[in-house]
Structure formats: C-alpha cells, structure tokens
Amino acid sequence: MRVVLQRVHRAAVTVDGRVTGAIDHGLVALVGVGRTSTDEDARWLAAKAEGLRIFPDDGGRMNRSVVDAGGGVLAISQFTLYGDATRGRRPSFVAAADPAEGDRLYRLFCDSLTVPVGRGVFGAHMDIDMVCDGPVTITLEREGAGQPGMAGS
C-alpha cells in the first residue's frame, strides 16, 4: 500500500459538482492499494500518517502531528500510485489491487484514522482543490506486512 501525504491549509474533493469531503488544515492522503496489500498495512499506514510530526510547533520546527495540530485528513483513493511506466508510454496498473479489494482497504485506512476524515469517492473522477502548506510532501509505503523482504516489514 502506498500513501502520499501533502500538508495543507485546506482541501476539498468534488464529484459531479458535489463536495464529498473537505478539511480545514491537515493532510491530503492519496491512497493506493496494491495486489499484496493487507489489512495490517492499511491500519499501520493510517497510524503512521496521523502520527508523523510534520506540523510546526510554536518555534516553527516540525514537531507536531496532525492529531497535535487539531487537523483532519482528506483521503483520496488513487490506484495510479501503482502505475508502472518503465516500458512504453502507457502505464501498466497490473500491480494495483482489484477494485473491490482496493475499495475495502481504502475504507479500512479511512476508518482506522482517529482524526476527522473527509473522503473522495472510490473509482469516481474527482476534482481536488487544495492549498498546500510548505510544501511538505511525504511518501509512505508498506506492502505485504510480515513478508520477508517487503517494505515496511
């Protein structure tokens, strides 16, 4: 599973002209699910994302988590994080989970967060409006928890 986090002042996602999720300050989380992603990966990544100390303290140092900062997470499903463009000009998405499993693990990631969560719509075309803060962008990956040689084990 892969998650790209972007620290934001505010963010919203719109589907068919309707806002489906929005946050004031916090994190936008682009969430990609791979074929070997597990429930444990989803829970671990949610805890890791909201525990990262990437928000400024009173001295301006990145010392606070989104929880400490009183922020939220806008989670967007993003199967294209598993696009492989090493060959040809059209990315291959064979490493991405099938849609049913991708949706299930995306929802588990969202449900595992303890901060307020805004959500996109799995599989929909989404317009994302965000005001980046910093910018601060962090990439997290954990694949096939507990399997020797896999990231995050």
**From 6, 14, 38, 78, the catalytic residue:** 78
Rounded CA gap, 50 and 75, in Å? Answer: 12
Whether the predicted pLDDT of 148 surpasses 60: no
Whether the predicted pLDDT of 146 surpasses 70: no
Please indicate whether residue 38 is annotated as part of the active site: no
When the pLDDT of each residue in the chain is averaged and rounded to a whole number, the result is 94
To the nearest 10 degrees (0 to 180), the angle between helices 99-112 and 39-51 is 40
Whether the predicted pLDDT of 136 surpasses 80: yes
Is there a contact between 119 and 72 (Cβ–Cβ < 8 Å)? no
Q: Which residues contact 33 (CB under 8 A, 6 or more apart)?
A: 1, 42, 77, 79, 82, 96, 97, 101, 102, 105, 106
- The number of beta carbons lying within 10 Å of the beta carbon of residue 119 is 18
Q: Over the stretch 62-100, which tens digit does the pLDDT of each residue have?
A: 999 999 999 999 999 999 999 999 999 999 999 999 999
Compute CA distances 8 → 71, 126, 128, 131, whole Å: 10, 18, 12, 6
Torsional sign, CA 73, 111, 39, 80: negative
**From 38, 55, 79, 109, the catalytic residue:** 79
pLDDT at position 147:
47
The domain limits of the chain are 2-141
Q: Which residues contact 3 (CB under 8 A, 6 or more apart)?
A: 29, 30, 31, 32, 45, 49, 109, 139, 140, 141
- The number of beta carbons lying within 10 Å of the beta carbon of residue 7 is 24
Q: Place 144 in a pLDDT band, splitting at 50, 70 and 90.
A: confident
Please indicate whether residue 6 is annotated as part of the active site: no
- CATH code of the domain occupying 2-141: 3.50.80.10
Q: Over the stretch 13-49, which tens digit does the pLDDT of each residue have?
A: 999 999 999 999 999 999 999 999 999 999 999 999 9
Please indicate whether residue 36 is annotated as part of the active site: no
Rounded CA gap, 50 and 11, in Å? Answer: 17
Whether the predicted pLDDT of 58 surpasses 60: yes
**From 80, 137, 139, 147, the catalytic residue:** 80
